Amino acid sequence: MHELSLVASILDQLEDELAKRPGSRFSKVGLRIGDLAGVDVDSLTFGFDALVKDTHWEPLALEIETVKRRQQCPRCKHEFEAEHWSTACPACNEAATVTIAGEELQIAFIEVEE
């Protein structure tokens, strides 16, 4: 359960963003979380609500875009979603494919009220 630490890092960075925009208010923060990030979205949402409650951030909405793991085949260049973690190329059976998406753990955007 490191999701609380992640939320604390997110709020720290929002604080920096707020300092750049004095007088504005944030209404939403958007995150991008990949399948390989090792983050439980429900725990993160729970931790977010808990840490935002009764602070100057309230009300602050959370939007999470989850990103599926995608692989690319080095042999036939086929790109595919790794369903059930299966990373072998469905087109040519190559086993050693390369991960091209799914590791994201990012703050994508903030919504500012002006």
Partner 1 sequence: MSTQIPVEKKVLNENQRIAAELREKFREHKILVLNVISSPGSGKTTLLERTLQQFDKNKRVVVLTGDLQTENDARRLARWGYPVKQIVTGGTCHLDAKMIEKHLADWPLDTFDILLIENVGNLVCPSSYDLGEHAKVVILSVTEGEDKPLKYPSIFFKSELMILSKVDLLPYVPFDAELAKQNARTVHPGMEIVEVSCQSGDGLRQWIDWIEAKFAAVRSGALELSAAK
Phi first, then psi: what are they for 76, rounded to 5°? Answer: -105, 0
Compare residues 37 and 52 and give the one whose CB is closer to partner 1.
Answer: 37
- Provide, rounded to whole angstroms, the least separation between the CB of residue 53 and partner 1: 20
The long-range contacts involving 48-54, CB below 8 angstroms and separated by at least 24 positions, are 48/7, 48/10, 50/4, 50/7, 51/4, 51/7, 51/8, 51/11, 52/11
* Contact footprint for partner 1 (CB under 8 A): 1-2, 5-6, 9-10, 12-13, 17, 27-28, 30-31, 35-40, 69, 84-88, 95-97, 99, 103, 105-114
- Provide, rounded to whole angstroms, the least separation between the CB of residue 65 and partner 1: 12
- Provide, rounded to whole angstroms, the least separation between the CB of residue 98 and partner 1: 8
